């Protein structure tokens, strides 16, 4: 058995004055400090013009707004460790100043909260200044925008860092509800006999957002729904649902099963995909008046394994839909013989997983109605648990990266395998179907479903009360 890698002894975050650091990183840093996980130099790097005092003020504002409030004791300890290095990323002199700020730290974790176009410049600067040896690097999605750019990005990172030191962060994998999906599958014995083509008729994954692009039209024009949430977030959910049990509990075994699954997914054909665009999207600032970018997509995946051959996996994602919710529905096959008269018209049994602010796991079943007649009604056996007070996704993921635990991070070959699945449908030749805001997308989305099937729309749940999904 291999020995665990030593923990990082320094934390560096590039883009320290940016939006991602403001909304995610500073709250995670306070939480890690409070839990005793960040007893090390913490260095923010950004363009010149800021001071350490101004960065500390921004950290306080960030934590008050996004971190559940300032914990004065933990924040004081964080500020005592926090340093700031200002300079141009293209200026070689920036990196020796970073090396000096790290002091005696020799195994830092570098978090690149910057555009991918700067990755090559930064990693080469780190190497030249002696900041990359025995270090780790965390990079944010998008991991490329197609297969070729993903491969180029991996080559750039591997010029300086071995794959074992690269942590591709997808905050969705740090969400408690998503981790619970993995736990449910492999900590219980009863799902496994049902979890295959013999008993599963179809799987649906829906990620609905009731809001639009929130003023980020220029950004969304570069991505669209497929690149924004399908190729990464929802493919990861699909992998957790469909992968085989790992042979061991170590991160490499888990990621090897995901890779095996992605390589078995058949590349998409245009007939398996429907794109949509909500009415009014083209009026958003930064959006082209003739934009063909999809704000909605529905698709059908086929997985060529003995476990899943012939079982359709449907994915649907969109903005300005009827509610905000993310939900999985695993529909089971009907009983082979209809013993009771009402059975043919009754809905099939199913598993339902709510991946929102609460954990919901439900089994859809039939129960007999009171009375003499042998007639039934639909019922759900529901397990529900609030996630209030749980660890923030970035707290969990950055903490794992500091300890070298790659279980919740994506490997280079899996990223490339996922891009191969969507590569054939990335071109936007045809205009997307228009749909009305507040609906469930264009009616044409039904075209990806097999005969006799329909989309199951998630109920509003807590999202209706304003809780984020």
User: Count of CB atoms within 10 A of residue 55's CB?
Assistant: 21
Q: Is 27 helix (H, G, I), strand (E, B) or coil?
A: helix
Query: Which of these, 322, 308, 382, lies nearest to 352 by C-alpha position?
Result: 382
Cα distance between residue 405 and residue 327, in whole Å = 28
Tokens 């051959």 belong to residue: 309
- Residue 108 three-state SS: strand
DSSP per-residue letters across 403-455:
TT--TTSB-HHHHHHHHHHHGGG----SPPEEE-TTBSS-GGGGGGSPTT---
34: exposed, middle or buried (Cβ count in 10 Å: 0-12, 13-18, 19+): middle
- Name the nearest CA neighbour of 132 among 122, 140, 144: 122
How far from 100 is each of 25, 88, 103, 358, 453, CA to CA, in Å? Answer: 23, 16, 5, 44, 62
Give me the residue label for tokens 């959910």.
237
Task: Enter the tokens of residue 398.
Answer: 């950055």
Contact (CB, 8 A) for 359 and 384? yes
User: Quick one: tokens of 187?
Assistant: 């900590």
Quote the CA–CA distance of 434 and 278 in Å, as a whole number: 6
DSSP per position, 79-90: HHHEEEEE--TT
Distances (CA, A) of 274 to 214, 302, 310, 449, 458: 23, 16, 20, 11, 20
Residues marked as catalytic: 233
Alpha-helical regions (H) of 159-282: 176-187, 217-225, 235-242, 251-264
CA pair distance 401, 394, nearest whole angstrom: 10
The CA-to-CA distance between both ends of the chain, in Å, stands at 40
């Amino acid at each position: 058995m291999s020995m665990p890698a030593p923990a990082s002894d320094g934390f560096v975050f590039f883009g320290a004055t940016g939006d991602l650091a403001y909304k995610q990183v500073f709250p995670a840093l306070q939480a890690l400090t409070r839990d005793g996980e960040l007893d090390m130099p913490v260095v923010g790097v950004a363009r010149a013009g800021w001071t350490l005092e101004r960065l500390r003020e921004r950290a306080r504002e960030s934590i008050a707004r996004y971190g559940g409030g300032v914990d004065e004791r933990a924040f004081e300890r964080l500020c005592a460790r926090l340093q700031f290095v200002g300079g141009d990323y293209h200026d070689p002199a920036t990196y020796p100043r970073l090396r000096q700020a790290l002091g005696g730290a020799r195994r830092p974790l570098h978090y690149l909260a910057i555009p991918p176009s700067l990755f090559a410049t930064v990693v080469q600067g780190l190497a030249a200044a002696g900041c990359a040896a025995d270090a780790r690097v965390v990079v944010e999605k998008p991991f490329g925008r197609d297969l070729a750019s993903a491969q180029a990005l991996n080559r750039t990172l591997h010029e300086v860092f071995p794959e074992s030191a690269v942590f591709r962060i997808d905050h969705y994998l740090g969400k408690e509800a998503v981790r619970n999906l993995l736990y449910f599958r492999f900590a219980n014995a009863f799902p496994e006999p049902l979890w295959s083509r013999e008993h599963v008729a179809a799987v649906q994954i829906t990620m609905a957002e009731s809001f639009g692009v929130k003023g980020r039209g220029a950004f969304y024009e570069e991505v669209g729904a497929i690149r924004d949430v399908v190729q990464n977030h929802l493919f990861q959910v699909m992998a957790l649902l469909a992968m085989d049990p790992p042979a061991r509990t170590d991160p490499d075994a888990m990621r090897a099963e995901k890779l095996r699954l992605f390589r078995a997914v058949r590349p998409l054909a245009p007939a398996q995909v429907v794109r949509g665009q909500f009415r009014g999207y083209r009026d958003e600032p930064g959006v082209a008046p003739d934009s063909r970018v999809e704000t909605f997509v529905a698709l059908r995946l086929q997985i060529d394994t003995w476990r899943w051959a012939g079982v359709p996996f449907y994915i649907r994602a969109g903005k300005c839909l009827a509610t905000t919710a993310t939900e999985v529905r695993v529909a089971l096959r009907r009983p082979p013989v209809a013993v009771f008269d009402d059975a043919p018209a009754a809905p099939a049994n199913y598993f339902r997983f709510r991946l929102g602010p609460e954990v919901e796991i439900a089994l859809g079943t039939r129960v007999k109605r009171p009375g003499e007649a042998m007639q039934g009604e639909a019922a759900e056996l529901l397990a529900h648990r609030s996630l209030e007070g749980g660890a923030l996704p970035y707290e969990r993921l950055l903490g794992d990266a500091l300890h070298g635990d790659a279980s919740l991070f994506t490997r280079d070959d899996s990223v490339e395998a996922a891009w191969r699945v969507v590569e054939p449908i990335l071109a936007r030749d045809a205009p997307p179907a228009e749909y009305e805001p507040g609906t469930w997308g264009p009616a044409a989305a039904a075209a990806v479903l097999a005969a006799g099937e329909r989309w199951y729309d998630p109920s509003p749940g807590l999202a209706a009360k304003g809780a984020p999904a």
